[in-house]
Chains A and B, each alone.
Chain A
Amino acid sequence: MKLSELPLKRMARVTRLRAENTVDQRLLALGLLPGMLVKVAHVAPLGDPLAIEFQNQCVSVRKNEADSVEVEVL
């Protein structure tokens, strides 16, 4: 499943990151590597962006940017 489709507050594990553009490179640099645990902690009032939690930090990403991250729900 894509990270952008992950239900709120559900813990998941990153399975794949396409890593082809600057957004993916930024997420990788922040430590969102395959195998990491991630969850969507908040959704902005207008439905986008998402605030995701991983590696003891909270990061805002737009939904279309979260599309390139594949996760599996735990």
Chain B
Amino acid sequence: MSENSTTTAGAGAAKNAVETAPASTTGNATAGNAAAGASRPPLIALIGNPNTGKTSLFNALTGLRQRIGNYPGVTVAKHSGTVVFDDGRRAELLDLPGLYSLAATSLDERIVIDALCGRLPDTPAPDAVLVVTDGTNLLRNLFLASQVAELGIPLAIVVNHADAVRKFRIRVDAAKLGERLGGVPVVLASAWHGEGIHEIRAALRTVLDHRPRMSRVAWKPCVTDALQILRDGLARDAQNNAAGADTAAAAAAGAALPSDAELQRLLFDTATPVLDRLTAGDAARRERIAHLVRAARERVRHGGLNPFAAEPVLHYERIKEALAGAVTDREAVAQSRTRRIDKVLLHRVWGTLIFFGAMAAVFLAVFFLAEYPKGWLETLFAWLSDTAGGALESAPLLQSLVQDGVIAGVGAFLSFLPQIMLLFLFIALLEDSGYMARAAFLMDKLFSWCGLNGKSFVPLLSGYACAIPSIMATRTIEDPKARAATIFAVPFMSCSARLPVYSLMLAAFLTPQLGPATAGALLVAMYLAGLAVAVPTAWVLTRFILKTRAQPFVLEMPRYQVPKPRDVLWRVWQSAAEFVKRAGTIIFAITVLVWALLYFPHDDAVEERVKTEFAAKAKETAAPAAAGGAGAEKPAAGDAKAATDAAAGGGDEKSEADAALERAIEQAHVENSYLGRFGKWAQPLFAPCGFDWKITVGILASFPAREVIVSTLGITYSLGGEVDEESEDLKTALAKSRWSDTAGALAGKPIYTLPVVLALMLFFALCSQCGATLATIRQEAGWRWAAASFFFMTVLAWLAAAACNQLGSRLLAAL
């Protein structure tokens, strides 16, 4: 994600290269490599340009025999699967990220060159490569194949979209093309329709058995000389380095000499992961290699070629030669339908209107539609919780652990699934149809100035429903810098979990005191506050903190096509499975941890004390004298009232008194819990914001999820944890609450003044009280980003709340 994680990845790869050096080959896959692979099935890498139907083909070849993992050290998903041949043999198929050129810019692309050269830990160099191309644009698509040929790995080429090829009356002579490219198998196929899959399997067997190689570019002498300069220089440097190496890592970096293909990357690319791998963070070595590269480029220039343009120019020349006679292209027809659709969808007025219509549909689905399955899940978990609670009545600790820890924890992350699946359904539809690139094109200007890009729109919008699916949706953003900034900005969007807090404050204080119009305006202000913070944050982050090079926003607008249901559903399933696997456990752990902190030490003495107090009070109020302790904060006013009612109502309301006692015990336990004690101790931290210990405990307890503060307030006000934001009792209890006698100047004054209410809303608008969001950020970008997001949001929320309370109370006093 960041420059740093990339460097660590490079270092990791370099370290591994030495550990496995004796077993695997370095870079160039040779026959020896295939022999070494006798114990494991051969590895075939699947690569191709974006929008070539690569995923469809991968699914068609592997069926359900797929695995999703992660490349070590980086947050790029690794998809692999097993191909079973007719004769029962098997091969491992590694689906590499889509890219146009081995000149890598994004993190995904950087993985490809490292994977092809066998530089990734736990991924050996592939024995063969399957290059997928779009038959309607072979010239461009074969550029990547031609670059891969330089690696010397046996390869086969799939000319995909055969149906479109026929429709546009492009004539492709696959056999002739294969011959022209040096005798590699070329298969015309349509993965979408399942056409040619059998032939591709056969071609893969041919490649593994006979190891045909695609002919390489006839490089001009200036290029071969330049590569020799690099080769010699690096070998010399490695020798010197090994002699005087301070660290094992430095020696390791020098030991694995780069292959020809890697030397080409060093020579031709303005930035390449090969350099990062070779230098492994050694600045002096980096400078020496950079010097060497400059000398080599000078040699190319001397031969009359631009070193940065030589590669595509020469590759394209030779591809054109190969295509002549083998493929006849009628350019004019090929894009006609897509052009007609674009006349409407990219139109200034109609295109913009349709865009907002489509986005409204996405938003409504994630915001409202997801509520139904979410509600069903909640009902299911409530039922489970009740059943388990009933069964475990005799063991209170276990009962609480199962109900409030385990079931609540599992429920906490499963309840996000409907939103994740719905959002990814839409994203898959938008991407597979070809519309996503158009949407990004229409909106790019709105975001480019603050370092984001057009593809940030969907995640930011769905952030208003829920940050979790939105952070996962940032995967559609190729530029790591824009992606990081979007991940950082998304949690500031006012998600639906903030609404219970806003509603409670609105109903209890703002609407009664200020009227519905002002209260409504303040609610809108909360929604805008998040956006107002998110955008400058993204700007500062991309401008001053992420020092990585700006990524190009060069985006192909693919041909429109009807999404294939199987691929769409597969993607929905994958996103859900990945979330459960990688974020689920952490969300679960956080929930159980916070439960434990709120439950223990669960001292029996606490219960006894409350019971005695209650009994004493009941006696006192039963006496004809007036009820006492009206203004006292402890035990809460609600208890006294309940006790009074119970006493007045007689035996009929005995159970009411029992319930009140139970709630009071619950309240006392929470107050005495580790989290409760910590909250009381930490309350001075929140004093500038005007928060008392109950709010502080609420904030701490709501770390797993914001809305938890409502039920925690319910417990601390002895109303039980089942209250919601519409509870009249909770509103009354909040409105009545006063600072205790020990609170100095504030003693006896109401806690929830207008500035404090607004400060609390602001705090929840900006804070990071959502364990699931942090777990998802960790899943997508790593721990460091999750930690940075948490600290930044928390500090900002505190500052905003403190400023609001301090300025607000001074203003009120002055009026």
- State whether these chains interact: yes
A interface list, Cβ under 8 A from B: 17, 19-31, 33-34, 41-42, 44-49, 51, 55-62, 65
The 6 closest A-B pairs by CB, nearest first: A29-B101, A46-B445, A23-B552, A19-B308, A58-B557, A28-B312
Chain A min CB distance to B635 (Å): 61
Q: For the complex, give the distance between the alpha carbons of A28 and B534 in Å.
A: 35
Q: Which residues of A contact B101 (CB under 8 A)?
A: 25-26, 29
Chain B min CB distance to A43 (Å): 8
With a 10 A CB-CB cut-off, give which of B270, B352, B549 has the most chain A CB atoms. B270
Once the chains bind, are B557 and A62 in contact (CB under 8 Å)? Answer: no
Q: For the complex, give the distance between the alpha carbons of A70 and B782 in Å.
A: 42
Once the chains bind, are B555 and A22 in contact (CB under 8 Å)? Answer: no
> Among the listed A19, A44, A46, A47, which residue makes an inter-chain contact with B309, where contact means beta carbons less than 8 Å apart?
A19
Once the chains bind, are A24 and B555 in contact (CB under 8 Å)? Answer: no
Once the chains bind, are B136 and A21 in contact (CB under 8 Å)? Answer: no
Asked if B282 is at the interface (CB within 8 A of a chain A CB), the reply is no
Q: Which residues of A contact B440 (CB under 8 A)?
A: 60
Chain B min CB distance to A27 (Å): 6
Once the chains bind, are B348 and A59 in contact (CB under 8 Å)? Answer: no
Q: For the complex, give the distance between the alpha carbons of A17 and B553 in Å.
A: 17
Select from chain B the residue with minimum beta-carbon distance to A57.
B137
Q: Report the interface size class on chain B.
A: 35 or more
Q: For the complex, give the distance between the alpha carbons of A42 and B306 in Å.
A: 31
Asked if B448 is at the interface (CB within 8 A of a chain A CB), the reply is yes
Chosen A-B contacts, 15 in total, with CB atoms closer than 8 Å, are A20-B270, A22-B551, A25-B101, A26-B103, A30-B556, A31-B140, A34-B313, A44-B444, A44-B445, A46-B445, A51-B346, A55-B140, A57-B556, A60-B556, A62-B448
Once the chains bind, are B553 and A33 in contact (CB under 8 Å)? Answer: no
Q: Which residues of B contact A21 (CB under 8 A)?
A: 270, 552
Q: Which residues of A contact B100 (CB under 8 A)?
A: 26, 29-30
Q: Which residues of A contact B551 (CB under 8 A)?
A: 22
Q: Which residues of A contact B597 (CB under 8 A)?
A: none
Chain A min CB distance to B711 (Å): 45
> Among the listed B306, B346, B445, B446, which residue makes an inter-chain contact with A19, where contact means beta carbons less than 8 Å apart?
B306
> Among the listed B143, B270, B316, B441, which residue makes an inter-chain contact with A60, where contact means beta carbons less than 8 Å apart?
B441
Chain A min CB distance to B19 (Å): 32
Q: Which residues of B contact A55 (CB under 8 A)?
A: 137, 139-140
Once the chains bind, are A29 and B103 in contact (CB under 8 Å)? Answer: yes
Asked if B321 is at the interface (CB within 8 A of a chain A CB), the reply is no
Q: Which residues of A contact B352 (CB under 8 A)?
A: 45
> Among the listed B306, B442, B553, which residue makes an inter-chain contact with A61, where contact means beta carbons less than 8 Å apart?
B553
Once the chains bind, are B335 and A58 in contact (CB under 8 Å)? Answer: yes
Please provide the chain B residues from 415 to 470 with a CB less than 8 Å away from any CB of chain A in the complex. 437, 440-442, 444-446, 448
Q: For the complex, give the distance between the alpha carbons of A65 and B351 in Å.
A: 23
Please provide the chain B residues from 214 to 236 with a CB less than 8 Å away from any CB of chain A in the complex. none
Contacts known (A45-B352, A51-B346); A60 close to B554, Cβ less than 8 A: yes
> Among the listed B136, B313, B348, B556, which residue makes an inter-chain contact with A33, where contact means beta carbons less than 8 Å apart?
B313
Chain B min CB distance to A24 (Å): 7
Contacts known (A30-B140, A49-B553, A62-B444); A42 close to B329, Cβ less than 8 A: no
Once the chains bind, are A23 and B554 in contact (CB under 8 Å)? Answer: yes
Q: For the complex, give the distance between the alpha carbons of A22 and B269 in Å.
A: 8
Q: Which residues of A contact B25 (CB under 8 A)?
A: none
Once the chains bind, are A57 and B555 in contact (CB under 8 Å)? Answer: no
Q: Which residues of B contact A59 (CB under 8 A)?
A: 554-557
Once the chains bind, are A58 and B342 in contact (CB under 8 Å)? Answer: yes
Select from chain A the residue with minimum beta-carbon distance to B51.
A57
Contacts known (A29-B143, A33-B316, A44-B444); A60 close to B555, Cβ less than 8 A: yes
Asked if B399 is at the interface (CB within 8 A of a chain A CB), the reply is no
Q: For the complex, give the distance between the alpha carbons of A28 and B555 in Å.
A: 13
Q: For the complex, give the distance between the alpha carbons of A40 and B471 in Å.
A: 34
Select from chain A the residue with minimum beta-carbon distance to B551.
A22
Q: Which residues of B contact A17 (CB under 8 A)?
A: 309
Once the chains bind, are B554 and A48 in contact (CB under 8 Å)? Answer: no
Q: Which residues of B contact A44 (CB under 8 A)?
A: 346, 441-442, 444-445
Q: For the complex, give the distance between the alpha carbons of A5 and B557 in Å.
A: 21
Once the chains bind, are B139 and A31 in contact (CB under 8 Å)? Answer: yes
Contacts known (A26-B105, A48-B445, A62-B553); A20 close to B308, Cβ less than 8 A: yes
Q: For the complex, give the distance between the alpha carbons of A58 and B312 in Å.
A: 19
Contacts known (A26-B552, A29-B312, A58-B335); A47 close to B346, Cβ less than 8 A: no
Contacts known (A30-B556, A44-B444, A49-B445); A25 close to B139, Cβ less than 8 A: no
Chain A min CB distance to B7 (Å): 18
Once the chains bind, are A56 and B557 in contact (CB under 8 Å)? Answer: no
Once the chains bind, are B329 and A33 in contact (CB under 8 Å)? Answer: no
Asked if B287 is at the interface (CB within 8 A of a chain A CB), the reply is no
Once the chains bind, are B334 and A49 in contact (CB under 8 Å)? Answer: no
Select from chain B the residue with minimum beta-carbon distance to A58.
B557
Contacts known (A25-B270, A44-B444, A49-B444); A61 close to B554, Cβ less than 8 A: yes
Q: Which residues of A contact B335 (CB under 8 A)?
A: 56-58
Q: Which residues of B contact A56 (CB under 8 A)?
A: 136-137, 329, 331, 334-335
